[in-house]
Structure 1
Amino acid sequence: MTEMETTRRAVMTGAGGAGLAVVLAACGGGATPADGGASAAPPAGDAAPSGDAAAGAAGGLAATADIPVGGGKVFKAEKVVVTQPAEGEFKAFDAICTHKQCPVGSVSDGSIICPCHNSRFSITDGSVQSGPAEQALAEKPIKVEAGTIALA
């Protein structure tokens, strides 16, 4: 074998290995039929856009008026979910489910919902309302000033 053939083989083997790694990585994060799960991709419907367009004020996540009482919004880019359990009371939690690290997808009926395996968390304190998750969502510090909610 010549040096050129060896180099070509090494390049092809490396490229094939990288392709296999991409395929394996794409398959690794989601749920499998063995654990009774569905696709790891959350629904697009309830997540709010991130950045200044969603904030309603420069530098914040959202305007207080954008967070419904008894509900909340998921901010995917910031990996945070902001809730308003009672009028004027705002909370923020890590938006990554503690079960299989899927991003939570929506807030409905007093619950933060993970679409991967339907774990539900309280909008008041992030505690688990129903599993398979067993650990609460971590609370994130926020500041609410002049009608704007921002990460602290």
Structure 2
Amino acid sequence: MPERPTTSSVPSRRTVLGLAGAGSAAALTACAGDDASTTGSTGGTGSATPVDAGPVDAGPVEDLPVGSAVKVDRDGVQAVVSRPDPDTVVAFSPVCPHQGCMVTPREELYVCPCHSSQFDLTTGEVLAGPARTGLEPRPARVEGGRILLG
């Protein structure tokens, strides 16, 4: 009769089921929070909190047409930036306050790809839910023809 090995490289049924259950719980938790519980979260895509290392140059203001917006991820700073008029830029955290997904500029709005919340380009105000609050403002200015964040 062959000898049985004392250790196995194959995980037990209990281990496999336990890992599967942990993954399911994590997935459910990601969609179960409310607005306040996930603010500042980024849905695993990086930090949306600006690093306090001075202003970040987001590029020339002329590259951002009036009435449009762009997503910026540079030098540890993530933001969505719009240009409501020739002399003004405004910036917001790209983190949707509903579930922490990252919003993207689309036409004349910021839109959350996870649950379709919509936000005003110039004010960050929520226009359509499920988000109940607007995007968090970020410091932005035009200096020497450049967009500076922070």
Of stretches 139-148 and 91-100 in structure 1, the one that deviates more from structure 2 is: 139-148
Report which of the two structures shows the higher radius of gyration computed on alpha carbons.
Answer: 2
Query: Could you tell me how far 1:22 is from its partner in structure 2?
Result: 8.0
Q: Tell me whether 1:139 sits opposite 2:140 in the alignment.
A: no
> Residue in 2 aligned with 1:72?
69
The Cα of 1:92 is off from its aligned counterpart by 0.3
Partner of 2:50: none
1:68-115: CA deviation from partner (whole Å, max 9, x where unpaired): 211100124632100011222100000000111100022322x11111
1:27 counterpart SS class: helix
Structure of greater relative contact order (alpha carbons < 8 Å, 6+ residues apart): 2
In structure 2, the partner of 1:27 is 27
TM-score under structure 2 normalisation? 0.63
What CA distance in whole angstroms lies between the structure 2 residues aligned with 1:94 and 1:105? 11
Q: After superposition, where does 1:36-55 map in structure 2 within 5 Å?
A: none
1:40 alignment partner in structure 2: none
In structure 1, how many angstroms separate the alpha carbons of the residues matched to 2:111 and 2:92? 12
1:121 alignment partner AA:
F
Query: Aligned partners of 1:148 and 1:29: how far apart in 2?
Result: 41
Structure 1 residue 63 corresponds to structure 2 residue 60: yes
Gaps of 5+ in 2: 1-5, 33-55
Larger helix proportion of the pair: 1
- Structure 2 residue aligned with 1:94: 93
Runs of 4+ in 1 over 4 A off after TM superposition: 15-22, 28-32
Count residues in correspondence.
121
CA–CA distance in structure 1, aligned partners of residues 122 and 131 of structure 2: 17
Which amino acid is the alignment partner of residue 147 of structure 1?
A: G
| DSSP 3-state at the match of 1:61 | strand
Point out where structure 1 has 5 or more consecutive residues left out of the alignment. 33-58
Identity %: 29
Q: Which amino acid aligns with 1:88?
A: D
Cα distance in structure 2, aligned partners of 1:18 and 1:143: 51
Residue identity opposite 1:84 in structure 2 = R
Structure 2: how far apart are the matches of 1:18 and 1:79? Answer: 36
